[in-house]
Amino acid sequence: MGTYHLIDHTADIGIFIEGKDLKDLFSTAAYAMFSQMFDLDKLEEKEKKKIELEGANLEDLLIRWLNELLFLSDSGYIFKQFNIEILQQNSLSATVKGEKIDFQKTSLKQQIKAATYHQLEIKKADSGNLQATIIFDV
């Protein structure tokens, strides 16, 4: 998994993500988002969901990916493992693992409403890694 850290952003949550490739970047972004919402330490990988998405470009696909995961979270699921099987310029196929939300195991740390397009850009760093900054509406 890649790395991530929070960045200062007025009234919202900003997360800087870095991954060795697109699959790593997308899976790290998903993990970072869920880690801001829930304590993932005690979470088990009991449930598996298949996700297939299309987007206009990579940035659009990243936002659609994160917002699809938020939709599933609103439906009662938390995920912590993200296996991106196919990732192309405008399509993604992934399997995610987690479990139904159980507030005896975890607590809601921060509600995230949506991933936004604000200041979003996927770029290649000098190291060759891919980077993105994602702003989440809370």
> In the prediction, which pLDDT does 42 show?
86
> In the prediction, which pLDDT does 55 show?
97
User: Residue 69 in contact with residue 98, Cβ under 8 Å?
Assistant: no
> In the prediction, which pLDDT does 10 show?
81
Structure-token pair, residue 75: 């439906």
Q: Which residues of the chain, if any, have pLDDT below 50?
A: none
> In the prediction, which pLDDT does 92 show?
97
Confidence (pTM):
0.95
Alpha helices in 8-135 (DSSP H): 22-37, 58-74
Cα 53 from Cα 64, distance rounded (Å): 7
Does the domain formed by 3-137 have CATH 3.55.10.10? Answer: yes
Question: Structural domain boundaries of the chain?
Answer: 3-137
Cα 49 from Cα 97, distance rounded (Å): 7
